[in-house]
Structures are given as C-alpha cells and as structure tokens.
Chains A and B, each alone.
Chain A
Amino acid sequence: MSVLTRLDTKGSPYLYILPFFVLFGAFGLFPLIYTGYVSFNDWNLLDAGAHHWVGLANYRELLHDPYFWNALGNTLSIWLLSTVPQLLAALWIAHLLNHRLRARTGLRMGVLLPNITSIVAVTIVFTQMFGRDFGMINWLLGLVGAGPVDWQADTWSSHLAISTIVAWRWTGYNALIYLASMQATPHDLYEAAELDGASSTQQFWRITVPSLRPTIIFTAVISTIGGLQIMAEPLLFAGTSTPTGGSDRQFQTAALFMYEQGFREFRFGYASAIAWALCLVIAIFAIANFLLTRRIATDEG
C-alpha cells in the first residue's frame, strides 16, 4: 500500500500534465518545427503530396519576391496605424473608467463589447460601413464637405480602414487591462501628489503612466505579435474570397500572402518559408518593442 501511495504521489503529477504536453506537442509545437523542414522542399499539394529537397531555394526566391516585400510593408503599415492610436486611446479610456462611477460594470461591458464579437462579423460590418456608394462613413464625410473615398482602392485608405477595424476590436480590451493595473496603484501616491498640488494631468503622466510600465510593455508586445499576423481582416475587407488583398495587392499582409501561396497556389514549401520569415520578423519586432517600450516608460518615470 505504501508503495502504491508513493507511486501515486511521485508519478501522478506527470500523468496530470501529460495530456497538455502530448496534445500541444502534436498539434502545436510539431507543426511549427516541421514548417522548417517543409520550407526546404518543393512541396506541392496538387502533385499528390510529392516533394523534394531544394535547400534554401524557397528563401532565395522570397528575398527577390516583390509581392513578399509589398506584403511585409503593408503589414508593418497596418500594424503601426492600428497599434499606436489603439494603445493611446486605451490609456485614455482606462483613465476615464478609473473614476468613481455609477453603472461601472455596464460601462466596462460596453467598452469590451467589440472584443467579444468575431473578427469575421466585425470586418463584414465595417466593410459595409466603408462602402464606396452607400457606406455610412462616406455619408458622414459628405456631411462635413469631404468627397467620398473609395476605401478599398488605394493603399493609404485601405490601410486606414483595416487599422480602424483592428483598433475598434482591441481598444476596449487593452483599456480594461490598463484599468486593472491602475487600480493596483497605491492610492496614497495620488493623495501625496494632490497635497503637493499636482494637477490631474501631472498625476496622470507622473504617477499613472510610470506605474503602468510593465502593463504597457505587455500590451505593446502582445499587440505586435497579434498585429503582425493580421490576415482575416484584409481577406474579408476585399469583399471577395480572393486572398490577394485588393486588385493591386495594396492591402495584402504577409500572413495573407502565406495563405495565398499555401492554400490557393498550393505551394506548401514556399508558404512555409514565408511562415518562418514572418516568425523571424515577429520575434525581432517583439524584442525591439520590448526594449523600446521599456526605455520610453523609464524616461517618463
């Protein structure tokens, strides 16, 4: 019996964490690593899964592929346009929510609502609102005397529209994360500042923002990892099911380019090379972002 008990206490913990590691290993980690192997092959699905080793050929092609660089540029542009205003707005909304409020829960739920709806639903609604002829947004622009914009047609306008969709969905979520962090800031800091005659704005920049430093870094890095993988929004914003991101690829992102090469052209090897390249870009940007936000937040403190 004591042998059994010992076995139970020593061995069973591994049994409990096993399902996670087995399933995650098989369907999460293995595919990611195997992507590396596939990327060194000419691997075409239409060819009954036939493949042969081509070494770095896919990567060489990628470096000279203008469509890839175009997609990468679009990704960075959309990411910047959505992330920076989004996090600033989130900070401001969190500051507003950090008052003594009536209907606190209702207001927080209202702010979070965009985030619980699906990307597909959100993008479809916004695509309609950004419509050229009968869209709500062009109508509003008309009211203030601006001409209608063909949102899908140009680079800047399509990037702006897609960034709006992304930012609309994530601002409230980030605001709640900031709010949680604000509420963990000791109250006496503010009371001491109040006694010293610091204005509300001064308190915000001198106390609130520096104390949010770890949270700001967290949201910036998470937004980067998510933002650089954007794919569903530009796919659906085109209004058709073609994954080129507009007639001139003006809003095709890198992840969408990967999807096009993999599941429309069936070039699995090439698409895998794109995946690894994108992974590398995401890693570089996440680290750069981490270092940068850490510096900025320190300077303000």
Chain B
Amino acid sequence: MPVRVDIEAPVTETRFLPRADLQRLLDVLAEAGYECIGPRVRDGAIVYDPVTRVSELPHGVTDRQGPGEYRLQAGAGGRCFAWANGPQALKPLLFTPQESLWTVRRDAQGRLAFIPAPPVARPVAVLGVRACDLAALRLQDAHFRDGPRPDPAYSARRDALFLIAVHCTHPAATCFCVSTGDGPRADFGYDLALSELDDGFLVEAGSVAGGVILRRLPTVEATTDQRQVAAREIESGARAQQRALPGTDLRDTLFGRLEHPRWEEVAQRCLSCANCTSVCPTCFCYSEHDVPSLDGTESTHTRQWDSCFTFGHSYIHGGAVRGGTRERYRQWLTHKLGGWHDQYGRSGCVGCGRCITWCPVGIDITEEARAVCAD
C-alpha cells in the first residue's frame, strides 16, 4: 500500500510549488507507489490517461464547448489546467465500463461452483480532478460503497485512490456547477488541491495522505498576494458561467409535470443514443450478462454500463415499460433532478455540463428542466 501515515500532523497551510518543480509531484507520487493518471490530449479531447512526465500534460491548450460541440485550441499561455472537463470524470476508474462479477464452473455431475472475481485495486493518483467530479464521486460512493451492501470491486478501487484536485478557473460555456452548488472551487474530498498560477501552483492538503506527499515537495509558504490572485481567478470563473438549473431541488415540480408537453417535444430531437448517460459522472446503471465458455464448463457473469435510454433497460416479459423516447428522456431527467433526492438526499446533477457538450444534437438539460418547470 502507498503512503497512509497517520502519525504526522496534518498540513494546514497553503504552500507554493514553483512551476519548474511540478515534475517532483509526479515523481513523489510514483515513489509512493501510485500510478498517476492525469489530463492528456488524445483524439482531439482532454482525457485522463497515465502520465509520468509533466511534458505530457496539455500545456497551452484550452477548450471550447457548446451544445453538441467540443474543440481544443491554443491560448492558455503556459498553463496546463486551463480547460474545463473532458468527456469522462472519475467514473470509469471506479465503476468500470465492463468487468466480471463472478465465474461459475459446472462439473460433469452438473454441480455448480460460484467463484467471486477478486477485487483488484492498484493505487492510483488522479491529477486535475474538478470540484464537480468530486461531488459526483461522493454520489457514486453513496451508491456503490456506503450502502448496506457495498460493491466489493468499487470499494477496493475507491480505497486505493489518491485525488489531486485543481480549482477550476476555466468553466466551459456548458458548465453550471455554481447553480448546483458543486463548484468551481473544490471544497472536500481531495488529498491535495492545486490552484494554477502563471509561475506555479498553490498546494493545499485535504487529508493526512495528502500532507505526507506535500511534505516531500519543494514548496515555500504561499504569499497573501498569490492566494488573492488564485481566489480572484476562481471567482471570475464562477461569474463566467452562462447556464443554470432553475433550482437545486426540482423533485416535486418535475414529478408533478409528468404529462408536460415538453417531454414530447424533446423526444422529437433526442436520438435515445445514451451518450448523455455515458458521460454523466453520476449515472450508475449497469446490466448483467453471462458469457459461457465454448466447452460449456464455465460461464462468466459480467456487468457493463447500461442506460435508461435503451429499450432493454426497462424490458420485462412482454415489452419495455418505457417504450418510447418521450418516456426515456423523462425517466432520465426526472431521475437525475428528482428521484435522486429520495435516494441520496440531493440532486444527481453536479453541473459538469458533459451531457450538453456530448449530446450529438445539443440537447441542454438546463433548458429542458427550465421548460418543464416553467408555468
């Protein structure tokens, strides 16, 4: 296991790490046994991939996002975190797109032996996590880990995770975390948090493990001036957000409007392609399948991401409960912004805007929620 030393006192002050020493952070994490995952440019997007060298980070790259639109462009000076979120958050690292749950062996007498897949977790440090993603992670934790029947694989991977947040200063046009109360500043759930300045990074520790790593970095005490600049940048990012949900709790309004004409209207545009659910950091649906071996002696029971936009999702004998796109879009929106309040005490939307950016026809959750909730 990597560093989890509880005897050292927590680091409470904000430190400054010169830009030239950022590589030390990656090296210290590697020395502590973590594989580091961070932002990299791949396929025209900023994605989380393994990084070992600072040169692999997206230097000088920023993004332009809009409904159904995502483009990378130059223009961030020398900064490497001057972008808003890419297509995926932490979800695929913990709730993996596909994995086997157990295997069953059948012997010649027809006896069955069920063998659980052993939870495998390697220590992973993620660099560049945003406030909205930490909020989403907290919801996935509540769903997969903190209930009466914790998912073994998720829990193991979660326990081996080290998170380095970056306070967000470059929200995209699709972001609305201010209106959901989840950003742009990361307030909880991180081991370390960074603020990117032109000449370096402010570093705060959020956990004992974070403090241990921080102590190994060549930092100096941050100046008041540096802290004020960082705070101003976060503040101006927050003010730049163009979208908002019409409230943080739309449960009663949405469930009171299940026959609103807007559901039919959005169904005319929605392709039921399920992109929105794949990119959403809080969507948790999965389906289970058996993959029998060719010789018939073994079968592997797997799970993979599923979506309430598919026909099979609500299929029971005789047909799908939600047979059309109207019912499926309604299910998604009323669940995300309504049903979650019953299940986890808050909305299931953290305002990351991914579903707006990655919807091929540019359907905008804030606009649909507004339309249904308007009188």
A and B: bona fide binding partners: no
B residues in contact (CB < 8 Å) with A = none
A residues in contact (CB < 8 Å) with B = none
